[in-house]
Amino acid sequence: MSFYVSFGTVLLLLAITAPVALGFGFAGAMAARSPVFPLNWIGRAYIAVVRGVPDIAFFLFFVIALDQGFEWLRHQVKCPDWDQPIRQGSDFIVCDAAKLPLNTSAQWIHETYGFLLAVLTFAIVFGAFAANVLFGAMRAVPRAQLETAEAYGMTGRQSFWRILVPQMWVYALPGLSNLWMVLIKATPLLFLLGVEDIVYWARELGGTKNPRFSDYPHGDWRMWYFLVLLVFYLGFTKVSEVVLDRLMKRLTHGQATAGGEMQRKAA
Amino acid sequence: MSCWETIADYGLRSLGIGERLLPRSDFTLCQQVVLIGSGMIWNVYFGVLALFSGFFLATALALGKFSANPWLRKPAEWFIFLFRGSPLFIQFFFAYFLFLSLKQVAPVFTPFTSAWAGALVVLFLNTAAYTGEIFHGALLSIPKGDTEAADAYGFSGWTRFRKIIWPTMLRLAWPAYTNEAIFLFHATTLVFFSGFPALQQRGDALYYASYFADKTFNPFVPYPILAGFFILLTLCLIGIFGLINRRLNRHLPQARRAKMRFRMNLIR
């Protein structure tokens, strides 16, 4: 049963991460574009740093780092009169009230917290990729469009939201759909972050079951479980491919690009 | 214990040479750098061998996908879809348990249940699929004039492929192929997290980095060290591939040479 639920976990992760990462990406791209000095510097640094560091190392690093960061913040707020150092040798010690989640809380809160950390990690990493794509897309919108907007007397903010943003999606879509594919294929890494996902359950359930401990004894079936996962991901990729193709067709409709021109001629 | 002794003890630890026990407490920076560096031997081993062997299969796959004969095209298309459409992580798991079951049937498969051979096979097939797709794209964008000129000069069959199509394909595919090589080296870090056992704690760089992070509860030291090693490795790769790129493009006028653009770090 948990095996089937864990498919839901993966889908849930995708459903939450994709919009959050897109939001991170949008914020990052806007920051990188902004004329204000420290803001554009921060945006560019975010994109460059996350994209430049080896992949899963980032996932492993971020989960612990975020966890310790949150606990440290809560420690500063909740226990101001704590005089011992936080790092004692190889231990990371905060006061009990600052533990996240609290020692007393239920098991499901611990699991949800772990899942949320994973989502945040995914969103930060993929947000940087999305920021890069969106940043490129914003620059790909023809200059003349923005100049026309200015000529009509729109303010910078108006031309950004009314002209630039609606038009950039068609330029961003190839990059974003690529990113979506990569995101799908990154979901098994949840296992490394300590979430009980499909990989975890495939290993657990597929392993040899002894008749003494289980009502349904069987040999080593892990191979078959992983074959199912393989097929699941293949199907998922195929479906996404088809859907994204359709979306691209709709978005290019009426655009001043080669694709839009081809559609116009075909019609 | 001085740093030189640490290097002597742990420098080749990932191959099983030197001190048997990993450090358990009072970790020094030197120990972390040396052990993680020693783990890099495995990353380089997997990366170099898979890249080299994958190159030939990739050429065959690209030609297969490009061919008009459906008996050649369909298998190549399916192979590429199978390995590009599913996560490498799941492929590792599946392959490991597949080899475990095959071992019961035929003892020939015993070496494949250990990482040095089994993971190498998976990485080889995986990189062949990705590279095959890149090469196929390059084949599609070979300028029509090049092949027409080859025909006009009377090239045909093998010489036409060897002298005209293949060099042009490589030249066009090279920037993308460089990125693929970088991804492949990053992907090698997955090996010891995916079922393949690290016998006697002989693991790769990420294995040791996560060992230290687990023991010290401090991710801020080992992972930056790992990142540093990988950045060095990536720079070496870019250097080598840049030299080859220069050689492939040496006949072109300066302005038309393909610019190398590096887009790092996407997970497979």
Residues of B whose CB is below 8 A from A129? 266
- Considering the segment(s) B34-256 as one domain, its CATH architecture is Orthogonal Bundle (1.10)
Task: Give a yes or no: residue A243 inside a domain.
Answer: no
Task: Give a yes or no: residue A178 inside a domain.
Answer: yes
Answer yes or no: is pLDDT of A83 > 90.
Answer: no
- In terms of Cβ atoms closer than 10 Å to its own Cβ (0-12, 13-18, 19+), residue B21 is exposed
Reported for B209-213, long-range contacts at CB under 8 A and 24+ positions apart, including other chains, are: B209/A57, B209/A60, B209/B36, B209/B39, B210/A60, B211/B22, B211/B35, B212/B27, B212/B32, B212/B35, B212/B36, B213/A60, B213/A61, B213/A64
Supply the pLDDT for residue A54: 59
Of the candidates A10, A20, A211, the one whose C-alpha atom is nearest the C-alpha of residue A130 is A20
Residues of B whose CB is below 8 A from A239? none
- When mean pLDDT is compared across A128-132, A189-193, B238-242, B246-250, the lowest value belongs to A189-193
Query: A153-167: per-residue pLDDT in tens?
Result: 888 888 888 888 888
Say whether B87 and A187 touch across the interface (CB within 8 A).
Answer: yes
Query: B162-205: per-residue pLDDT in tens?
Result: 998 999 999 889 888 988 888 888 888 888 887 788 777 788 88
A186 touches chain B (CB under 8 A): yes
Which of A7, A46, A49, A53 best tests the B interface by mutation, with the highest count of B CBs <10 A? Answer: A53
DSSP SS3 for B153:
coil
Supply the pLDDT for residue B265: 46
Higher pLDDT, A152 or B4: A152
Supply the pLDDT for residue B268: 47
Residues of A whose CB is below 8 A from B223? 57, 60-61
Query: B247-259: per-residue pLDDT in tens?
Result: 888 887 766 665 5
Task: Give a yes or no: residue A247 inside a domain.
Answer: no
B206 touches chain A (CB under 8 A): yes
Q: What is the largest CA-CA distance in chain B?
A: 73
DSSP SS3 for A93:
coil
Q: Scanning every residue of chain B, which has its alpha carbon at the shortest distance from the alpha carbon of A236?
A: B85
Supply the pLDDT for residue A223: 79
Answer yes or no: is pLDDT of A55 > 70.
Answer: no
Average pLDDT over residues B102-121: 85
Residues of A whose CB is below 8 A from B218? 87, 90, 92
Average pLDDT over residues B99-125: 86
Answer yes or no: is pLDDT of A53 > 70.
Answer: no
Higher pLDDT, A57 or A142: A142
* Confidence (pTM): 0.81
Task: Residue A56: give its domain's CATH number.
Answer: 1.10.3720.10
What is the DSSP pairing of strand A91-92 with strand A87-88? antiparallel
User: Which residues share a beta bridge with A88?
Assistant: A91
Distance from the Cα of A202 to chain B's closest Cα (Å) equals: 10
Instruction: Please give the full DSSP string across B220-255, using - where no structure is assigned.
Output: TTHHHHHHHHHHHHHHHHHHHHHHHHHHHTTTS-GG
CA dist A212 and A208 (Å) reads 12
Task: Give a yes or no: residue A64 inside a domain.
Answer: yes
Task: Give a yes or no: residue A202 inside a domain.
Answer: no
User: By residue range, what is the domain housing residue A91?
Assistant: 2-195
What's the total number of domains in chain A? 1
Measuring CA to CA, how many Å separate B152 from each of B147, B163, B168, B252? Answer: 9, 14, 17, 21
Answer yes or no: is pLDDT of B113 > 70.
Answer: yes
A86 touches chain B (CB under 8 A): no
A191 touches chain B (CB under 8 A): yes
CA dist A21 and A17 (Å) reads 6
Task: Give a yes or no: residue A235 inside a domain.
Answer: no
- In terms of Cβ atoms closer than 10 Å to its own Cβ (0-12, 13-18, 19+), residue B96 is buried
Supply the pLDDT for residue B44: 93
Say whether A199 and B267 touch across the interface (CB within 8 A).
Answer: no
Q: Please say whether the beta carbons of B115 and B198 come within 8 A.
A: yes
B28 touches chain A (CB under 8 A): no
Supply the pLDDT for residue B28: 82
CA dist A192 and A6 (Å) reads 15
pLDDT band at B52 (very low <50, low <70, confident <90, very high): very high
Task: Give a yes or no: residue A231 inside a domain.
Answer: no
The values of phi and psi at residue A60, to 5°, are -65, -40
Answer yes or no: is pLDDT of B12 > 80.
Answer: yes
Higher pLDDT, A202 or B42: B42
Task: Give a yes or no: residue A214 inside a domain.
Answer: no
Q: In this prediction, what percent of chain B has a pLDDT beyond 70?
A: 94
Distance from the Cα of A217 to chain B's closest Cα (Å) equals: 17
Supply the pLDDT for residue B257: 62
Q: What residues 99-158 of chain B have any CB closer than 8 A to a CB of chain A?
A: 100-101
Q: Establish, for the pair of chains A and B, how many residue pairs have beta carbons separated by less than 8 Å.
A: 120
Average pLDDT over residues B54-58: 95
Higher pLDDT, A106 or B180: B180
Q: In this prediction, what percent of chain A has a pLDDT beyond 70?
A: 79
Q: Which residues lie below 8 Å from residue A19, measured CB to CB, with a gap of 6+?
A: none
- Mean pLDDT of chain B, nearest integer: 85
- Mean pLDDT of chain A, nearest integer: 79
Q: Please say whether the beta carbons of B62 and B135 come within 8 A.
A: yes
Q: Please say whether the beta carbons of A155 and A89 come within 8 A.
A: no
Q: Scanning every residue of chain A, which has its alpha carbon at the shortest distance from the alpha carbon of B98?
A: A223
pLDDT band at B1 (very low <50, low <70, confident <90, very high): low
Answer yes or no: is pLDDT of B219 > 60.
Answer: yes
User: Which residues share a beta bridge with B184?
Assistant: none
**DSSP H or E segment with residue B58:** helix B29-66
Which residue among A91, A182, A206 places its CB closest to the CB of B217?
A: A91
Supply the pLDDT for residue A213: 62
Average pLDDT over residues B12-38: 82
- When mean pLDDT is compared across A37-46, A202-211, A237-246, the lowest value belongs to A202-211
The values of phi and psi at residue A95, to 5°, are -70, 160
Query: B123-146: per-residue pLDDT in tens?
Result: 999 999 999 999 998 998 888 888
B264 touches chain A (CB under 8 A): yes
DSSP SS3 for A240:
helix
Answer yes or no: is pLDDT of B58 > 90.
Answer: yes
B90 touches chain A (CB under 8 A): yes
Q: What residues 99-138 of chain A have any CB closer than 8 A to a CB of chain B?
A: 129
Higher pLDDT, B68 or A101: B68
Say whether B264 and A51 touch across the interface (CB within 8 A).
Answer: yes
Say whether B85 and A237 touch across the interface (CB within 8 A).
Answer: yes
